[in-house]
Structure 1
Amino acid sequence: MTDELVSVEDHRERILSAIEPLPAFDQPLMEAFGLAAAEDVHASVDLPGFDNSAMDGYAVAHADVASAGDESPVHLPVVGEIGAGQQSLLAMSPGTAVKIMTGAPVPAGADSVVPYEWTDRGVANVVISRAPELGQHIRPRGQDVGEGDLLVHTGTVLGARQIGLLAAVGRSSVRSRPRPRVVVISTGSELREPGSSLGRDSIYDGNSFLLAAAARQAGAIAYRVGIVPDDPRAFLNALNDQLVRADLVVTSGGVSMGDYDVVKEALSPLGTVWFGGVAMQPGKPQGFGTIGEDAVPIVTLPGNPVSSYISFEQFVLPALRRLMGRTPYIRPEVDALLTQGLRSPEGRRQFARGRLTVVDGRLAVTPVGAQGSHLIGDLAESDALVVVPESVTWVEAGETVTVLPLDEEF
């Protein structure tokens, strides 16, 4: 582990430059939900695919009903009926009407639809007391989407609206990159599973749940591995067992300078994992490299829960988004008014927990609690990180600061 601190950007770039997006393949539409399209998708059909009625009513020739009014209604014979998906009448003659349902194809010879509300709803004959405009209540073929139109471009995240559109033009699958499989391992002989009994020197393992949930929220498939004690052999055995199902491994704990920092002790001899300090608070001790025959990327995070989470945000989240082919890799920054003074260590970029509000119509942020790296209760109450540059040691209340909102999709 080197003594010189590297910047947040340099460590993030170290990770991103070593990771390639996962190979794309055709996936069923519902499996592709939330993923990034890896192809441009063009419409192979028109939407609508035919002229159809926008109302329940009567298909007519506009010239036959143009004079209709309350004082001078028009009487037309009804020569047929067309329901959606039940076309039995392809054409109609001038001087007639055809009962038509919403979504049903408009027969040749008709150029307007009279809604039921403007008629007496006659069966054999209909009395029309109001005239539509020419073409009114008809949805023309291709009005929404034309054959050949670009519907989805490469990189578009496929949400509900995009999935619905692709299905509407007949696509049953779309080429996209799969969800990364992330293995999350917590290390520490003091850790216990939630729900078990605690000794005086033990704590519950919150980190693996925190990181696995964050990975899942990012769109990945998360595998939370049971607690691994501070034993290098046990750690390596657990790690090797998991590599077969991992596109990325994330560990928490065991990367600092202590006598029982098992991750660093186990992985340093391999020569493929870098360990060092990053100029940030919290989250100084970090590590990254590759392991196994398939060179699976591994990001090793510090063990304090706040350090672990903020490190995930800065380094693991960008890696996951790169694997999925999603950009941008990091959360967009916004400016906010700081409501309380905030101290920061010189030479470190601080990521302070904060809560966003609106003050006098302007976005504001209030620091939450103390800034200790073990205070997960304060972390849970936060919805933003206040970013204080390395050269700044004090920010006055009322100053504008850079903020990373944590709960906004991007």
Structure 2
Amino acid sequence: MTASADAEAAANELTPLADYLGSVLRRLRALPPLDLDLTQAHGNVLAEDVVAPHSFPAFDQSAVDGYAARWEDISGGGRGVGYVPTQSGGPGGRNVRLNVVGDLGAASWRPVRLTPGACFSVAAGAPLPLAADVVVPVEWTDQGMAAVEIFRVPKRGYGVRRAGEELPAGTLLARAGTYVSPALVAVFAATGIGHVVVRPSPRVVIVATGDELVDVGRGSQPGQTVDANSHALTAAAAEVGALAYRVGICDDDPEGLRGLLEDQTLRADLIITTGGTGTGPGDMVRRILSRREGSRAGPVTFTEVALYPGTSLGFGTVGAEEVPVVCLPGDTGSALIGFEVLARPAINLLAGAEPVFRPSVRAHLLETISSPVGLREFRPAHVAERRGGGYTVQPLNGGPYTLSGLAEANGLMVLGERVTTAAAGSTVDVLLLDRRR
């Protein structure tokens, strides 16, 4: 049997990624909803549809600083104070002059009515006088106080915002599953909403395991590895919108690991471990969490998944509260890919966010690449929009060099299990990373 045939046979024994993800995500449920004050709701996901209880704008108002008037008075059909001959302005090359009978600001509340030939000086946001159907901008006038001369006549309705023009009462403002953005907070507030029902942001605890780990601020030496994983995964969880807590480093001590995880179940909706998922002599996480007790299987199942880089992933629950736990590999690049593939969708599902996966596009590959047989590869890439439409994608470092590639990437190419070579010019799927650049 050839080496490639051996590799394909070995890959056939792995669990397809789609099957594995389906089995994991079906075991998770969104967190129970909370009723939160509007100022606290930002960053969460709505647990139910939100309907406008009141209209926006709530009343007829001026959209600009200027003079509220009747359009027939300034268009020549009314009985204004008079017309002043000029080379521009009103009908027949004449400016229009109106009496200014009062001032209205945003805090004005008494209803007033316009009479023929009169106008009110108004500020943007001020309630409109009854019978007003146009606001002449200040810069189109001589800015008079007792009487105003209008140099330019706007169209009927200019500068006017009618009640409910933008959002009538009863409008569906947002559906369940919608992320509460700053703009959505403004929409809720403007229509009279003070509280919304949301899914809370998941509390995610990150634990790095291994006797070889040392904290950041120094270089690695033989027998030591700097703990990049817990810092990176904490940042990744926060980027999704979780409340992320980095516990730090846990040695390969069975009782210490059990005790640490048990303690963290009190403040976690999800625990992420990194390291120890393989079958080597030092892979303590797998040995401890998958251990059978009597006739019962361990709380966490470790699976060899058709994923590259990193094939060993674990999922299950820990503690009396049965808090979900995701176990990722120790290699930093593989851990970050495992987070994208497994932990990120889990966090989104707990938060009630839809969709749980990143958006993707089809893009034209700029160079020929190879991919391991039988494995679904996630390769860091740079994706760009083409001037004529569509996307191109430039592959970056992958495989054992995934970490350096991820630092530059704004996308992840997805190459299926049956793809061994992707030719330049072919079309591939690319997950879009929401990096702020």
Under TM normalisation by the shorter chain, which class is it?
over 0.9
Partner amino acid, structure 1, of 2:373 = E
Contact persistence 2:314–2:327 (CA under 8 A)? yes
1:13 and 1:147, CA in 2 relative to 1: closer, same or farther beyond 3 A? same
Partner of 1:259: 281
What are the superposed Cα offsets for residues 115-154 of structure 1, whole Å, 9 maximum, x if unpaired? Answer: 3333332222233344443333221111111111111111
In the TM superposition, what is the alpha-carbon distance from 1:155 to its structure 2 partner? 1.5
Partner of 2:245: 223
What are the superposed Cα offsets for residues 69-109 of structure 1, whole Å, 9 maximum, x if unpaired? Answer: 27544443322211111245622332322222221111123
TM-score by length of 1: 0.92
Partner of 1:37: 46
Partner of 2:372: 345
1:61 and 1:276, CA in 2 relative to 1: closer, same or farther beyond 3 A? closer
What is the aligned counterpart of 1:175 among 180, 184, 197?
Answer: 197
1:125 and 1:230, CA in 2 relative to 1: closer, same or farther beyond 3 A? same
Partner of 1:79: 101
Contact persistence 1:80–1:89 (CA under 8 A)? no
Partner of 2:423: 396
In the TM superposition, what is the alpha-carbon distance from 1:319 to its structure 2 partner? 0.6
1:337 and 1:62, CA in 2 relative to 1: closer, same or farther beyond 3 A? closer
What is the aligned counterpart of 1:56 among 65, 88, 109?
Answer: 65
SS at match of 2:249: coil
1:66 and 1:316, CA in 2 relative to 1: closer, same or farther beyond 3 A? same
The answer to whether the aligner puts 1:365 opposite 2:393 as a matched pair is yes
What is the aligned counterpart of 2:177 among 143, 147, 155?
Answer: 155
What are the superposed Cα offsets for residues 53-75 of structure 1, whole Å, 9 maximum, x if unpaired? Answer: 22322222333332252754444
What is the aligned counterpart of 2:36 among 27, 33, 55?
Answer: 27
Contact persistence 1:82–1:89 (CA under 8 A)? no
The answer to whether the aligner puts 1:277 opposite 2:319 as a matched pair is no
1:294 and 1:57, CA in 2 relative to 1: closer, same or farther beyond 3 A? same
Gaps of 5+ in 2: 1-11, 77-82, 84-89, 293-297
Give the Cα separation in 2 of the matches to 1:74 and 1:286.
Answer: 78
What is the correspondence of 1:106-255 to structure 2 with a 5 Å cutoff? 106-196=128-218, 199-255=221-277
Partner of 1:15: 24
SS at match of 1:227: strand
1:337 and 1:126, CA in 2 relative to 1: closer, same or farther beyond 3 A? closer
What is the aligned counterpart of 2:14 among 5, 9, 13?
Answer: 5
1:81 and 1:88, CA in 2 relative to 1: closer, same or farther beyond 3 A? farther
Partner amino acid, structure 1, of 2:58 = G
Give the Cα separation in 1 of the matches to 2:150 and 2:433.
Answer: 59
SS at match of 1:244: coil
What is the aligned counterpart of 1:328 among 355, 374, 382?
Answer: 355
In the TM superposition, what is the alpha-carbon distance from 1:9 to its structure 2 partner? 1.2
Give the Cα separation in 1 of the matches to 2:173 and 2:402.
Answer: 46
- Of 362-371 and 26-35, more deviation after overlay is shown by 362-371
Give the Cα separation in 1 of the matches to 2:141 and 2:402.
Answer: 71
The count of corresponding residues between Structure 1 and Structure 2 is 406
Gaps of 5+ in 1: none
What are the superposed Cα offsets for residues 352-405 of structure 1, whole Å, 9 maximum, x if unpaired? Answer: 222224578552223323521x65223312332222221222222332222222
In the TM superposition, what is the alpha-carbon distance from 1:4 to its structure 2 partner? 4.1
Partner amino acid, structure 2, of 1:289 = G
Contact persistence 2:134–2:158 (CA under 8 A)? yes
- Of 307-316 and 83-92, more deviation after overlay is shown by 83-92
